[in-house]
Structure 1
Amino acid sequence: MICQHLKESGDPEPQSRYADGCPQCVAAGFDDWVHLRLCLTCGVVACCDSSPRQHMSAHHAESGHPVMRSFEPGETWRWCFDDEQLG
């Protein structure tokens, strides 16, 4: 059964691309991010947990925003941090 956070988040398509990578990594002078994720609450784009600095997980920890989605071309999956559920 899909969690309420995933039901409420919808599935918006990302509207722009971050060709230069994770904005937080780039601002700090790093270029070793792996994949990008999009917060479905506020639109923040950040790197994934396979990246050294795991900015999207840090964003969730700081903001409490529950759902993110892949920002990678051709990927549409979403993840609820609160319920640890893929949607």
Structure 2
Amino acid sequence: MIGAVTGCTHLDQVALELPTEADKRGAVCPECVAMGALWVHLRMCCTCGHIGCCDSSPNRHARLHWEASGHAVITSFEPRERWSWCFADNLLL
């Protein structure tokens, strides 16, 4: 789980453990794959596990998931990265 961070008001939405390196191997953005698009980096929703592409990607599926679901906290799904972000609070966790 993500530790307590001063300023984030959405930690109560975090329901999943951080992904392991093994979880991240071979991961894709399913929405990009379905539309034949490319992505830059992957992010995982810490509430439901949705995998989406980052804001540097053309389609920004992780952000679109937050806007549609209200699930504000994501974590990097990139190898060797261990950080999280709250979209709503605009805060690195």
Q: TM-score range by the shorter chain?
A: 0.7 to 0.9
1:1-87 correspondence runs (5 A): 1-6=6-11, 9=14, 12-14=17-19, 16-17=23-24, 19=26, 21-30=28-37, 32-87=38-93
The DSSP-based 3-state class of the residue aligned with 1:46 is: strand
Structure 2 spans left out of the alignment, 5+ residues: 1-5
For the residue of structure 1 that corresponds to 2:10, the secondary structure is helix
Structure 1's unaligned 5+ residue stretches are none
Give the percent of matched residue pairs that are identical in Structure 1 and Structure 2. 49
Q: Calculate the TM-score normalised by the size of structure 2.
A: 0.80
* TM, length-normalised to structure 1: 0.85
Q: In angstroms, what is the RMSD of aligned CA positions?
A: 2.0
Q: Paired residues, what number?
A: 86
The runs of 4+ residues in structure 1 deviating greater than 3 Å are: none
Deviation at 1:76, TM superposition (A): 1.1
More off after superposition, 42-51 vs 16-25 = 16-25
